[in-house]
Amino acid sequence: FVLMRRVVHSPFGATLTAIRDNRLRAMAIGIPVTSRLAVAYTLAAGVAGAAGALMTQTSGFASLDLFEFHRSADVLLILVIGGTGWLYGGVAGAIVFKLMQDALSAITPQYWTFWIGLFLVVLVLVGRERLIRPWTWFPRIFGGRKA
């Protein structure tokens, strides 16, 4: 995590941000887009490999059920909940997802995935920033300006 934070806040990370924002502009100012993306994907693969190795070391085995679709869907849902634009998004999303999973499965064991899916729909429709500030949902009721 500390290593990725250093990468994000380095000049290399600034060039990756420029590529993410506008690839054509980054190419126009002389950033080697293809090689930077290759290095970024290589770093991401290395981090994923290290995470898999640590998980295998912690659990003591690696089985094929770790690669099922629902596991990948959970990881993507964690990233959507936490946000992909900042480094702490995965951590925040994992915390929120795990708390929701534990609380909802205690209340309704059969339908906890429905409630997480409904939360995802609300998150997409309302937006992450507005979800944190519910008074911006209905500006006419609360007397604020349009969000």
Percent of the chain topping pLDDT 90 = 18
Question: From residue 15, how far is each of 3, 84, 147 by CA, in Å?
Answer: 17, 17, 31
For position 36, what pLDDT does the model report? 93
With cut-offs at 50, 70 and 90, classify the pLDDT of residue 75. Answer: confident
pTM: 0.64
For position 83, what pLDDT does the model report? 77
Token digits for 71?
């596991």
Give the other-Cβ count within 10 Å of 52's Cβ. 12
Report which secondary-structure segment, H or E, holds 131: helix 128-132
With cut-offs at 50, 70 and 90, classify the pLDDT of residue 15. Answer: very high
For position 81, what pLDDT does the model report? 82
SS3 labels along 60-83: CCCCHHHHCHHHHHHHHHHHHHHC
Residue 22 has pLDDT above 60, yes or no: yes
The tens digit of pLDDT for each residue in 98-120 reads: 998 899 889 888 888 888 888 88
With 0-12 / 13-18 / 19 or more C-beta atoms within 10 angstroms meaning exposed / middle / buried, residue 43 is middle
Amino acid identity of residue 43, one-letter, is L
Mean model confidence pLDDT for the chain: 82
Determine the longest span between alpha carbons in the chain, in angstroms.
57
Query: For residues 36 and 15, is the Cβ–Cβ distance under 8 A?
Result: yes
